[in-house]
Amino acid sequence: MVTKLKEVDAVIVGLGWTGGILAKELTQAGLKVVALERGVHRNTAEDYALPGVRDELRFVHRHDLMQNPARDTITVRNNVKQEALPMRRLGSFLPGDGVGGSGVHWSGHTWRWTDNEFKVRSMYEARYGKNFIPEDMTIQDWGITYAELEPYYDKFEYVAAVSGKAGNIKGVIQPGGNPFEAPRAREYALPPLTDIQSSKMFSEAARNMGYHPFPRPSANASRAYTNPDGSKFGACQYCGFCQRFGCEANAKGSAHITVIPIAMASPNFELRANSWVTQVLKDPAGKKVTGVRYTNLMNGEEYEQPAGIVLLTAYAINNVHLMLLSGIGEPYDPVSQKGVIGKNYCYQTGVGANLFFDDHNFNPFMSAGGSNHTIDDFNANWDFDRGPHGFVGGFTIGAGFNTSLPIGNRPVPSGTPAWGTAWKAAQAKSYQTAMNIGSSGSVMANRYNYFDLDPTYKNAFGQPLMRMTFDYKANEHKMGELAAKLVNDIAKAMNPTSFNRASSRQSWTVVPYQSTHNTGGTIMGVNPKVSALNKYLQNWDYHNLFVVGANVFPHNGSYNPTGPVGALAYWTADAIKNRYMKNPGPLVQA
């Protein structure tokens, strides 16, 4: 028996950064909004307070703030010939749940993706010719430009307390910042974080090699701060417990201390936590969605929540899953290359080297989420000629510390025994005298990397799990080899006593943790034949359905995704408030 509730103007599925931004913006525009969040409602004072929040075992290794795969997970395989099996425990990526979502426990790295991504196919074809892009590489332009998104990046950065140093203000290169970034209208909201020893040493080496290091922009407030909405931030305390943890100082940009409390103060808004949405409902005519069905996890009762607008704002993977479960759009088929839902799933890649010193001490436990210096010479730098290397995309290289806690961060030189006194001797020395240089690399879309529904395995609601088919292709291997070589070159230049060499990743595996930057599956674009959403993240088939998150990215860049995810949420909110509400219907004619 499903209880049908009273219709609201908009229903939001998942209340993290994107759901929170839309909840705030739409309630302020006068809409009645209900947010359904499958997880619990946590807040800083009770749930992220000292000393309990300083628990590496609980939050990093037991995944206390993450989705529980016992209830719902995905199945995984490297290629279409393999049988997919369930990801039985979290590993390679860690999607969050609960009010605030992954914004509670991210590190805060906030980048502005550029036209190198948004116009990827046209820029590479123009420079290198059509044949440079392999036939199975299904990259396409996003349908949006950096110039359109710039004000929305700015808005997100100022809301989230991003600390950094501008490298390009209105076309004028700024000393100390990233000279390869696209022009921004003004400085970051806050000055950069204080440098730590490892990032300083990396910067010096990189600068001596002719590269352009800069402090990584990050939503860790370098000073106490009040954002333009009046949300208050404490100053970052460099406590060393950032990634995977809520911030007891309210110094990390998170929806649960910014946009969500503003929405919650509005009489137009209602939050229902512990509410698991199982389906988006459609009208029989196939023009509009009518609401969602969900289960109250407190008692197992099912409800239908009718709504004028449905906004899917859950984790990227969950958004795609809900689209497939609801039968919205045509599922993508890698053989015929028809259909769009599930298309262009991408991940990220990376390499890393550990450096061991006798004459330095790094205090890895003193760091912010964004205590890192980075070079963008092989990513946003379009002058970097990919031609001789034969790959599309790019990678950043950086060094510093982020949440370098002792259960998980145990660097020892290669060849050290795994236990006994010799291991302890190496561990006792290396915890404080080793550092890492890492690269983060893009992954281009490929016709055989995609999502669909698994034919065998089911979740706790009896619904099919989503199946992920993914592996790195030749493009990523070529890029990984160059990234490893450059990381090793910088490592050597830093003159460590020894270092464990970086090497290119081979095939993708679900263990260990790599990155929670999963993208694609319901991609934005200019054409309904090859994309699920238009440039306003509005579904081509059902004009009152918007899907927001990294699931809209047609491919994955080397940067962390939250910058464009947050900017696109504001962009979509504006499109709904200023255009859709006045004249409901498709915002782009197919």
The binding site for other proteins (CB under 8 A) comprises 50-52, 54-57, 61-63, 68-70, 73, 76-78, 82-91, 194-197, 200, 235-240, 248, 360-363, 365-366, 405-407, 410, 418-421, 424-425, 427-428, 431-432, 456-458, 507-511
Nearer to other proteins, 470 or 559 (CB): 470
The answer for residues whose C-beta is within 8 angstroms of residue 391's C-beta and 6 or more apart is 475, 476, 478, 479, 482
Tokens of 475: 């493009």
Q: How far apart are CA 517 and CA 477, in angstroms?
A: 19
Nearer to other proteins, 2 or 80 (CB): 80
| Integer-rounded Cα radius of gyration of the chain | 23
Residue 359: count other Cβ atoms within 10 Å of its Cβ.
8
Residue 40: count other Cβ atoms within 10 Å of its Cβ.
13
Q: How far apart are CA 564 and CA 557, in angstroms?
A: 11
Contact (CB, 8 A) for 121 and 140: yes
Sign of the alpha-carbon dihedral angle for 322, 325, 328, 332: positive
* Amino acid identity, position 415: G
* Amino acid identity, position 334: P
Nearer to other proteins, 72 or 181 (CB): 72
- How far is residue 256 from each of residues 58, 260, 547, measured CA to CA in Å? 21, 5, 20
Q: How far is the CB of 423 from other proteins (least distance, A)?
A: 8
Nearer to other proteins, 186 or 424 (CB): 424
Q: How far is the CB of 30 from other proteins (least distance, A)?
A: 42
Q: How far is the CB of 429 from other proteins (least distance, A)?
A: 9
Residue 68 CA from chain centroid, whole number: 19
Q: How far is the CB of 108 from other proteins (least distance, A)?
A: 16
- How far is residue 67 from each of residues 76, 91, 276, 318, 401, measured CA to CA in Å? 17, 12, 12, 11, 26
Q: How far is the CB of 428 from other proteins (least distance, A)?
A: 5
Contact (CB, 8 A) for 575 and 548: no
Q: How far apart are CA 451 and CA 77, in angstroms?
A: 11
> Is 517 tagged catalytic?
yes
**DSSP of 294-317:** EEETTT--EEEEEEEEEEE-S-HH
Tokens of 516: 């929670």
Q: How far apart are CA 552 and CA 101, in angstroms?
A: 18
Nearer to other proteins, 484 or 510 (CB): 510
Contact (CB, 8 A) for 473 and 136: yes
SS3 536: coil
The answer for residues whose C-beta is within 8 angstroms of residue 1's C-beta and 6 or more apart is 302
Nearer to other proteins, 240 or 521 (CB): 240
Residue 319 CA from chain centroid, whole number: 14
Residue 507: count other Cβ atoms within 10 Å of its Cβ.
10
- Look at the block and give the residue holding tokens 């922009």: 217
Q: How far is the CB of 97 from other proteins (least distance, A)?
A: 12
Q: How far apart are CA 463 and CA 182, in angstroms?
A: 44
* Amino acid identity, position 72: D
Nearer to other proteins, 71 or 207 (CB): 71
Query: Among residues 256, 373, 517, 555, which one is catalytic?
Result: 517
SS3 32: coil
Residue 512: is the preceding peptide bond cis (ω within 30°)?
A: yes
Q: How far is the CB of 495 from other proteins (least distance, A)?
A: 15
Nearer to other proteins, 326 or 367 (CB): 367
Q: How far is the CB of 549 from other proteins (least distance, A)?
A: 23
Q: How far is the CB of 408 from other proteins (least distance, A)?
A: 9
Nearer to other proteins, 73 or 538 (CB): 73
Burial label, 55 (beta-carbon count in 10 A; 0-12, 13-18, 19+): middle
Nearer to other proteins, 285 or 418 (CB): 418
SS3 487: helix
Q: How far is the CB of 67 from other proteins (least distance, A)?
A: 9
Catalytic residues: 517
